[in-house]
Amino acid sequence: MKSYKARGVVLHTVKYGDSSLVVYLLTDLLGRQNYLVQGVRSVRGKGNKGAFFQPMFLVEFEGLEPPRGQMHRMKEVRMPVPLSSLPFDVRKSTISLFMAEVLYRLIREVEPNSSLFDFVAGAVVALDSLEEGVSNFHLWFLVRLSAFLGFYPGNEYLPGGWFDIREGLFSPVMPQHRLMLSPEHAEILHRMMTCDVKELGDVRLARGQRSDFLNAMLTYFGYHLDSIHRVQSIPILRDVF
């Protein structure tokens, strides 16, 4: 088998047989790729490699490319960036579960996309180190992710205006088709577009505002990608935030 070294972000896992996992990764080298990882669930196995494959964990590994289009395999996996708070903070772990499922549902490309990978990997590190504004992180992530999915807002924010979902543009008047974000949500969208992740604590949103803006963003995503509605972690996210 041909071997290669790559980095990945864990999106999803499925049990396979008695001791193995099928791991779905977003990788820097091959885009989205599936891997068969053997022996990670065996009590007699060496170490506890299964702990590496939690939602949004970063891994470095040696991959094995089999002939005839069979599933790739993985060995010598390690965590290049130890996560200090994400696995233990219920707010952050809930967000990471949501992020992983959104990417698992929406990203299908097997071609490498270094910009997307760097954004996602950087978002994991940023969430892990974030101290203030954690409750806004999933909103920031969705807004920024839209740039890599092809429907990031296409013009400058207009204070007091609306956001036209069909056109992907801020508008000074309410669109007649009414598929839009209200002026309040358009302003929050603008703040998420321009706010550095370290400044999320300065974005003061009440729980109701946060929930309503999430609904607005799901409508925006759903207009372009219907698969967003299959994200099952959304109710959990609403319960926590």
Q: 28 or 46: whose pLDDT is higher? A: 28
Q: Of 6-10, 26-30, 48-52, 158-162, where does mean pLDDT reach its minimum?
A: 48-52
pLDDT the model gives residue 67: 82
Please report, in angstroms and rounded to a whole number, the separation of the first and last CA atoms in the chain: 46
CA-based nearest residue to 45, from 21, 27, 73, 63: 21
Distance CA 93, CA 112 (A): 27
pLDDT the model gives residue 101: 97
Structural element, H or E, at residue 103: helix 90-106
pLDDT the model gives residue 17: 86
pLDDT tens-digit series, residues 51-99: 899 999 999 999 999 887 789 999 889 999 889 999 999 999 999 999 9
Residue matched to tokens 């302003």? 187
pLDDT bin (cut points 50, 70, 90) of residue 41 is: low
- Domains of the chain in start order, with CATH, are 2-78 (2.40.50.140), 130-240 (no CATH)
pLDDT tens-digit series, residues 91-140: 999 999 999 999 999 998 889 999 999 999 999 999 999 999 999 999 99
pLDDT bin (cut points 50, 70, 90) of residue 14 is: very high
pLDDT bin (cut points 50, 70, 90) of residue 49 is: confident
| Cα 99 versus chain centre, distance | 3
pLDDT bin (cut points 50, 70, 90) of residue 47 is: low
Nearest 5°: the CA angle 136, 9, 124 is 30
In the chain, what percentage of residues exceed pLDDT 70?
97
Angle at which helices 207-224 and 137-149 pack, to 10 degrees?
A: 20
